[in-house]
């Protein structure tokens, strides 16, 4: 699903909280960042999620992979507060979304940035919305430019930038207020292959610098495994967890990783689960 919005997070925090599940809340194991309990969602009377529980680990990159239409985007959009749950709840280390700083990177970078603002002003704007003073925003912007090693002119308008550059600005904007969790919905799917490889490595480098919990939806199994510490495989709807697969491949990963026998083995295991589990539902 493609979501297009320009100011998702401000809107998300003003939404009412979902109703709590009627059963007692059971916390996740040690190291859990996001605890989802009793999640329910239907579209047009057709259940997508029914009494769905999930624990997402802290300080890890989790990729979500599953068949078309199983609800990958809907899941992160509900947890990020962009669309309502029908029931259940999600807590961030015990806190509600309202008390949690999150970032979100949309698949459709063309509509994600504010077109009337220069790239740098898109980032400044997010920082000002998050309550930073003008001086703090400038300092943070400088820091981001250094850590992302930005070599193009951020004083350009989005339409003057390439797709990859726009998506890089979107990721910088999402990370600018130092979110506790970063959600990414197929962030590289609209980019060409060269730019996709570059952006994956950029994201990985940022993760290694910050340790921010990241939850990424991907259509591409190789990408899902390459980027993740853990891959969450989902079934067809009504959607369940098919499996969690650990990707115990050292970072930084590189093009050579793609041919590493252990990496290839993990990818094959994911594909096997996908093919075995998914059609049964
Ligand atoms: N607003 C909506 N109204 C009706 N149905 C919807 C809506 N949003 C999503 N759906 C349906 O819910 C299901 C899950 O959609 P979602 O986009 O979350 O799946 P996905 O796994 O991300 O899909 P894809 O792999 O195709 O990107 C799909 O069948 C979709 O058609």
**Phi and psi torsions of 7, nearest 5°:** -130, 65
CA 85 to centroid of ligand 1, rounded, Å: 14
pLDDT digits over 6-41, tens only?
A: 334 433 443 444 444 467 778 889 999 999 999 999
Among 2, 49, 71, the mutation site with the greatest number of ligand 1 atoms within 8 A of its Cβ is 71
CA 4 to centroid of ligand 1, rounded, Å: 14
pLDDT digits over 150-196, tens only?
A: 989 999 999 999 988 999 999 999 999 999 999 999 999 888 888 88
CA 218 to centroid of ligand 1, rounded, Å: 14
Its CATH class, for the domain covering 10-100+180-280, is: alpha beta
Question: Residue for token digits 């026998």?
Answer: 261
The pLDDT, as a whole number, for residue 135 is 97
CATH 3.40.50.300 in the chain is located at 10-100+180-280
pLDDT digits over 115-124, tens only?
A: 999 999 999 9
Among 41, 42, 43, 233, the mutation site with the greatest number of ligand 1 atoms within 8 A of its Cβ is 43
**Phi and psi torsions of 104, nearest 5°:** -140, 130
For the cut 90, the answer to whether the pLDDT of residue 280 exceeds it is no
Query: Where does ligand 1 bind, in terms of residues with CB under 6 Å?
Result: 1, 43-44, 48, 66, 68-74, 219
What integer is the mean pLDDT of 84-97? 97
Q: Which residues contact 146 (CB under 8 A, 6 or more apart)?
A: none
Ligand 1 atom with the smallest distance to the CA of 70 is 21
Q: Where does the pLDDT of residue 3 fall: very low under 50, low under 70, confident under 90, or very high at 90 and above? A: very low
Measured CA to CA, the distance from residue 116 to residue 108 in angstroms comes to 17
The pLDDT, as a whole number, for residue 25 is 79
The pLDDT, as a whole number, for residue 110 is 80
pLDDT digits over 205-260, tens only?
A: 999 999 999 999 999 999 999 999 999 999 999 999 999 999 999 999 999 999 99
What integer is the mean pLDDT of 127-156? 94
CA 277 to centroid of ligand 1, rounded, Å: 20
What integer is the mean pLDDT of 106-117? 90
- Total residues found in the chain within this entry: 281
ipTM over 0.95: yes
The pLDDT, as a whole number, for residue 91 is 97
The pLDDT, as a whole number, for residue 276 is 82
The pLDDT, as a whole number, for residue 185 is 96
Q: What is the pTM of this model?
A: 0.90
The pLDDT, as a whole number, for residue 193 is 87
Of 175, 160, 233, the closest CA to residue 206 belongs to 175
pLDDT digits over 36-71, tens only?
A: 999 999 999 999 999 999 999 999 999 999 999 999
**Protein residue whose Cα sits closest to atom 28 of ligand 1:** 69
CA 70 to centroid of ligand 1, rounded, Å: 7
Q: Where does the pLDDT of residue 278 fall: very low under 50, low under 70, confident under 90, or very high at 90 and above? A: low
CA 144 to centroid of ligand 1, rounded, Å: 34
């Amino acid at each position: 699903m493609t979501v297009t919005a320009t100011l998702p997070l401000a809107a998300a925090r003003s939404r009412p909280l979902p109703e709590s599940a009627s059963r007692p809340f059971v916390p996740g194991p040690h190291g859990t960042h996001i605890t989802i309990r009793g999640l329910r969602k239907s579209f047009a009377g057709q259940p997508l999620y029914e009494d769905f529980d999930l624990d997402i680990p802290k300080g890890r990159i989790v990729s979500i992979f599953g068949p078309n239409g199983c609800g990958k985007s809907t899941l992160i959009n509900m947890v990020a507060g962009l669309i309502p749950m029908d029931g259940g709840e999600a807590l961030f280390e015990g806190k509600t979304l309202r008390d949690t700083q999150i970032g979100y990177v949309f698949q459709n970078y063309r509509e994600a940035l504010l077109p009337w603002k220069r790239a740098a002003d898109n980032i400044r704007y997010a920082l000002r919305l998050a309550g930073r003073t003008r001086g703090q925003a400038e300092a943070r912007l400088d820091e981001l430019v250094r850590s992302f090693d930005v070599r193009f002119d951020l004083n350009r308008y989005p339409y003057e930038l390439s797709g990859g550059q726009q998506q890089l600005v979107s990721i910088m904007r999402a990370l600018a207020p130092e979110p506790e969790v970063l959600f990414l919905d197929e962030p590289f799917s609209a980019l060409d292959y060269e730019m996709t490889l570059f952006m994956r490595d950029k994201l990985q480098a940022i993760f290694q610098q910050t340790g921010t919990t990241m939850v990424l939806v991907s259509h591409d199994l190789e990408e899902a495994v390459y980027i993740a510490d853990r891959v969450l495989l989902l079934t067809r709807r009504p959607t369940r967890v098919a499996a969690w697969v650990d990707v115990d491949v050292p970072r930084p990963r590189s093009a050579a990783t793609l041919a590493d026998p252990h990496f290839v083995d993990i990818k094959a295991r994911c594909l096997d689960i996908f093919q075995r589990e998914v059609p049964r539902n």
